[in-house]
Amino acid sequence: MPIFLDSSITSEIKKFHKMGIIRGITTNPTIMFKDGVTGGMDGIKERSKEIADIVKPYPVSVEVMTNDRDGMIQQAKEFSKWATNINIKITAHGPNGELVNFEVVHELEKVHNIRVNTTAMMSAQQCFLAALAGSTYVSIFGGRVNNMGYNCCDEIQKLRTAIDDFDLKSKIIVGSTREVLNTIEWLNAGAHIVTIAPKLLEGMIVHPYTKETVQMFLSDAGKIKSMLNK
């Protein structure tokens, strides 16, 4: 399941889902705000359920809106009931480095049987610890890692080796995609999944030389038709 779409716009999700090229959806509060989701928690619930219904049985990641321990667990239990294919995003730690989050990840997976996507991670070591905690998905923000001045491919390779060596179940998601080339680059480095925005996914499909070639084919086909009609 190599490509997840990073969007909460239902028209975009339907378009690419009909093509058969996406295998899941990732969202977060920033994406939903940018995509114009309104109505507070009711609006998030409605949009999340709609997305889950469009792509089922493929997974949809929905992020909790708090970093309070009990609040995260309560919201995770509530959100996961919206649809059977919804999994829950939990950040690796709190805004000031609070360490309760991996405890929450472990409890959700092992006690409440809720699939978790541990997110906002920037290193192989963070992701490895999330995998040890039992997270179904571990998300490293590849574009941001590259922005910090080092190549995310190195982190992906180290992480994939560790996960395979210790026979951990977690799937590596690489997000924060910046360029069209990132998808194949990161999959080749060992990612199981890359999340990509709609515009970049379109960029993977449309190539200027393909456009030129198709235009030539159609032009020559028109000439053949003209000759046959004479």
Q: Which residues belong to the active site?
A: 89
Half-sphere exposure of 31 (CA within 13 A, CB side): 22
CB 29 within 8 A of CB 65: yes
**Would you say 186 and 145 are in contact if contact means Cβ atoms under 8 Å apart?**
no
Helix extents (H) in 35-181? 40-55, 69-80, 101-110, 124-133, 142-147, 152-165
What sign has the CA pseudo-torsion 155, 158, 95, 42? positive
User: Which residues, other chains included, contact 12 with Cβ-Cβ below 8 Å and sequence gap of 6+?
Assistant: 5, 198
